[in-house]
Amino acid sequence: MKLTETTPAMPALARLPQVAPVERPTPVTQPFMPPLGEYLPYLETIWSNRWLTNSGPYHQELERALEQHLGVEHISLMSNGTVALWTALQALKVSGEVITTPFTFVATAHALRLAGATPVFVDIDEQDCNIAPAGIEAAITERTSAILPVHCFGHPCEVDAITRIAEINDLRVVYDAAHAFGVQVDGQSILRHGDLSVLSFHATKVFNTFEGGAIVSPDGRTKARIDRLRNFGFHGDTIMATASINGKLNELQSAFGLLQLRYIDGLIARRAQISRRYHAALADIQGIAPFRVEGVTLNHSYFPILVTDEYPVPADALCARLTSAGILARRYFHPLICDMPGYRDLPSAQQPLPVARRIARQILCLPIHPNLSDTLVERTIDILANG
């Protein structure tokens, strides 16, 4: 008897649940959605391939496309940035103490904890909000195995100084490059530094695959190791000695990434336009200090400002004022990780960390995303200028 393929009838109930569109205030960021019609051919291919995950054709194509777009040789897609950070730390066998920044998203420190390492927080630089190399050197002990710097807001870290410190002290370096998609210095990707760099493709990031991330490796052997670690530690059909995680990105998300990539240059150009307008308008406002990072191709993922003591109200009050006008600015990254439960009892959290603590108090990230209208940019500027 020949079995024929049939589509089972849909149960009546399954047709009911529908989520209504949500109206929300102007967020600090918003994902770009390509025209739905352009996604449908990808879906049709996935439906006919029935290859949904485990390094499918779109997954492979996105790895190649991202390598080309970002100017790096070896990319491993991951299910999200946090799992990617954890996997990168496993690949380098990081343990003991790891020197990092307190001025970042919690996932940076969480990944260390999940990998069984102890975060050691050091102060940051007020020019770019990144870990200060002098602080790294002072924090090294015989238990230090690695440095985990963050290219905060896509501002490049002092990579040459960090490389030097790592070489002298035999430390591994993993960059949390969650904010640094496409960032270049002298035409070179910032992702080419350190032992590994980790990207996030979360919905709030410049380039997104709903959830997702990637690890950039310096060579094929390292990429092969990462690829095994993201797939339970499988080597071919056999499991390796190491227990590992499921960190794979699926075909639906990979296809969405390929579609996003077609638009990314235009999206970043629109962000750059908004950034230029903010810079021009805020230059004259007493007590509002935007960051000027020279000689870098930024991705304009964030528009951070410092609300200094010369401004009539502190950053939290200004943030509340914007929120009541329907504009959601965000205090990234307040509070500092070293002041959060779960971290504040660590020895390094007891230090003064004066720059990080001041910046955390004064920081405010203004709305910036490709869908943001000129009207809303002007309204934001008006509130900053006139209260």
Ligand X SMILES: *Cc1c(COP(=O)(O)O)cnc(C)c1O
Cβ count within 10 A of residue 97: 21
Verify binding: residue 107, ligand X, rule CB under 6 A.
yes
| Least Cβ distance, residue 21 to ligand X (angstroms) | 24
Q: Which stretch binds ligand X (CB under 6 A): 27-35, 171-179, 345-353, 354-362?
A: 171-179
> CA–CA separation, 48 vs 128, rounded Å?
48
- For residue 189, give the 3-state DSSP assignment: strand
| Least Cβ distance, residue 341 to ligand X (angstroms) | 19
> CA–CA separation, 291 vs 10, rounded Å?
55
Q: Which stretch binds ligand X (CB under 6 A): 62-70, 99-107, 290-298, 303-311?
A: 99-107
Half-sphere exposure at residue 186, Cβ-oriented, CA atoms within 13 angstroms: 1
Q: Name which of residues 211 to 270 contact ligand X (CB under 6 A).
A: 213
| Least Cβ distance, residue 81 to ligand X (angstroms) | 3
| Least Cβ distance, residue 366 to ligand X (angstroms) | 17
Reading the block at residue 172, the tokens are 């591994």
Q: Nearest residue by C-beta to ligand X?
A: 81
| Least Cβ distance, residue 374 to ligand X (angstroms) | 27
Range list of H helices, 178-310: 220-229, 251-282
Verify binding: residue 26, ligand X, rule CB under 6 A.
no
Verify binding: residue 108, ligand X, rule CB under 6 A.
yes
Cβ proximity to ligand X: between 152 and 264 the closer is: 152
The secondary structure element, H or E, covering residue 145 is strand 144-148
Q: Which stretch binds ligand X (CB under 6 A): 24-32, 66-74, 103-111, 215-223?
A: 103-111
- C-alpha torsion 8→12→14→19, nearest 10: 140
Contacts of 88 (CB under 8 A, 6+ apart): 174, 196, 198, 215, 226
Verify binding: residue 299, ligand X, rule CB under 6 A.
no
Q: Which of 28, 66, 150, 258 binds ligand X (CB under 6 A)?
A: 150
Q: Which stretch binds ligand X (CB under 6 A): 4-12, 102-110, 165-173, 348-356?
A: 102-110
- Radius of gyration for the alpha carbons in the chain, expressed in angstroms and rounded: 22
> CA–CA separation, 268 vs 278, rounded Å?
15
Verify binding: residue 104, ligand X, rule CB under 6 A.
yes
> CA–CA separation, 94 vs 88, rounded Å?
9
Q: Which of 80, 130, 260, 380 binds ligand X (CB under 6 A)?
A: 80
Q: Which of 81, 257, 304, 367 binds ligand X (CB under 6 A)?
A: 81
Q: Which of 58, 86, 105, 303 binds ligand X (CB under 6 A)?
A: 105
> CA–CA separation, 369 vs 329, rounded Å?
12
| Pairing mode, strands 213-217 and 74-78 | antiparallel
Q: Which of 72, 178, 255, 258 binds ligand X (CB under 6 A)?
A: 178
Are the CB atoms for 217 and 177 separated by under 8 Å? Answer: no
Are the CB atoms for 233 and 239 separated by under 8 Å? Answer: yes
Reading the block at residue 91, the tokens are 């690949």
Cβ proximity to ligand X: between 128 and 176 the closer is: 176
Cβ proximity to ligand X: between 66 and 282 the closer is: 66
Q: Name which of residues 194 to 213 contact ligand X (CB under 6 A).
A: 200, 202, 213
> CA–CA separation, 382 vs 359, rounded Å?
23
Cβ proximity to ligand X: between 55 and 80 the closer is: 80
Cβ proximity to ligand X: between 197 and 351 the closer is: 197
- For residue 199, give the 3-state DSSP assignment: strand
Q: How many residues in the shown chain lie near ligand X by CB under 6 A?
A: 14
| Least Cβ distance, residue 162 to ligand X (angstroms) | 16
Where do contacts with ligand X occur on this chain (CB under 6 A)? Answer: 80-82, 104-105, 107-108, 150, 176, 178-179, 200, 202, 213
